[in-house]
């Protein structure tokens, strides 16, 4: 079964985030091998080369609405529009690799940013939609994590007719059914908290889009997942909210980009383009065009 971005994010959350309470930042850091003697077409290209050849390549996750997916044979979504915005600021064309998420975020970064996949293909110049965590960032030194462009969080969608007065919170799912994406953060959370009492009412779907469709068709009373995916699947009969999540240490996270460590000028240029787009409202308009609410990260 193909893993989704949420599966990769689960590995990041359960691993690196959990370690943060025990270790000081990178206290248990072990230096990693850097790519050496690797052909340019494998490790990427510097900013000057990108401008000379006239295009930049972006790795984006496939089948991941509203962020990146195919429609009528063409890539569409928020991340696709963001890639085109970055490319326009650099004065080049945007080209996209729609890639499957691996078992872990480390695997995705290895395959699409700093080394390349084992079987076929090559890395992209920039990977979009990379969850950011400072502890994780200092452990993966082959990659520059930059260009933070959105704060994502867990939300709950529900049928208005099922909850006419008070929106549901996780405790409600002891008795009511809730849709989740299989192996997602929400799946892990609801299946284990509190003491597994909610697990019997969790209904798992292959994607968050399918979970939202199930909710809209009355198969469940609610759905839980990442806010943007929830918001993308709302219909007039559905509503959404973001309640406190007891026992959930990572209810929100920042999304940014990843660039090969050897190409810092490219990373700086991409970051500058994103910061400018946040400041002048272009990024917020992209979100609005896709029916989403924009939550800007703190610029630092």
In a domain, 167, yes or no: yes
- Dist. CA 156–CA 200, nearest whole Å: 18
* 13 and 87 share one domain: yes
| 101-105, 168-172, 191-195: least confidently modelled range | 191-195
Q: Can you give the residue range of the structural domain that contains 281?
A: 5-26+44-151+252-289
Beta strands at 178-181 and 202-205: parallel, antiparallel or unpaired:
parallel
- Dist. CA 103–CA 14, nearest whole Å: 13
- Dist. CA 70–CA 284, nearest whole Å: 22
Per-residue model confidence (pLDDT) at position 15: 43
* 72 and 163 share one domain: no
- Dist. CA 22–CA 46, nearest whole Å: 38
Q: What is the pLDDT of residues 26-75, one digit of tens each?
A: 666 666 666 554 544 446 689 999 999 999 999 999 999 999 999 999 99
* 232 and 260 share one domain: no
Burial of residue 264 (CB within 10 Å: 0-12, 13-18, 19+) is middle
Number of domains the chain is built from? 2
**Residues 234, 238, 244, 248: what is their CA dihedral angle, to the nearest 10 degrees?**
-60
* 135 and 189 share one domain: no
The whole-angstrom distance between residue 67's C-alpha and the CA centroid of its chain comes to 8
* 258 and 145 share one domain: yes
* 157 and 193 share one domain: yes
User: Is 125:12 a contact under the CB 8 Å cutoff?
Assistant: no
Give the CATH number for residue 85. Answer: 3.40.190.10
Q: What is the pLDDT of residues 213-263, one digit of tens each?
A: 999 999 999 999 999 999 999 999 999 999 988 877 666 889 999 999 999
Q: Can you tell me the mean pLDDT for 153-171?
A: 95
298 pLDDT exceeds 90? no
| 114-118, 162-166, 179-183, 254-258: least confidently modelled range | 114-118
Burial of residue 218 (CB within 10 Å: 0-12, 13-18, 19+) is exposed
Q: How many CB atoms are located within 10 Å of the residue 167 CB?
A: 16
- The pair of structure tokens assigned to 206 is 């292959």
* 88 and 214 share one domain: no
* 171 and 236 share one domain: yes
């Amino acid at each position: 079964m193909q893993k989704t971005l949420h599966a990769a994010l689960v590995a990041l959350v359960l691993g690196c985030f959990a370690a943060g309470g025990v270790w000081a930042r990178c206290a248990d850091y072990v230096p990693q091998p850097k790519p050496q003697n690797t052909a340019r077409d494998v490790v990427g290209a510097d900013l000057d080369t990108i401008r000379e050849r006239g295009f930049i390549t972006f790795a984006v996750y496939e089948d991941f609405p509203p962020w990146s997916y195919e429609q009528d044979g063409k890539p569409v979504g928020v991340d696709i529009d963001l890639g085109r915005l970055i490319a326009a600021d650099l004065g080049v064309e945007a080209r996209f690799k729609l890639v499957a998420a691996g078992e872990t975020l480390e695997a995705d970064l290895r395959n699409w940013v700093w080394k390349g996949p084992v079987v076929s293909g090559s890395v992209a110049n920039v990977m979009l939609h990379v969850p950011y965590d400072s502890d994780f960032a200092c452990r993966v030194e082959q990659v520059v994590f930059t260009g933070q462009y959105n704060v994502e969080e867990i939300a709950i969608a529900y049928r208005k007719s099922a909850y006419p007065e008070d929106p549901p919170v996780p405790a409600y799912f002891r008795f009511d059914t809730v849709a989740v994406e299989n192996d997602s953060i929400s799946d892990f959370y609801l299946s284990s908290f509190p003491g597994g009492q909610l697990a019997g009412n969790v209904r798992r779907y292959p994607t968050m889009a399918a979970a939202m469709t199930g909710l809209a068709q009355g198969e469940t009373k609610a759905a839980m997942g990442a806010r943007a995916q929830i918001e993308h699947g709302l219909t007039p009969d559905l509503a959404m909210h973001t309640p406190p999540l007891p026992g959930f240490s990572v209810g929100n996270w920042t999304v940014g980009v990843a660039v090969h460590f050897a190409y810092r000028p490219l990373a700086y240029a991409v970051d500058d383009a994103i910061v400018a787009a946040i400041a002048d409202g272009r990024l917020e308009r992209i979100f609005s065009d896709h029916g989403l609410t924009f939550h800007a990260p703190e610029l630092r």
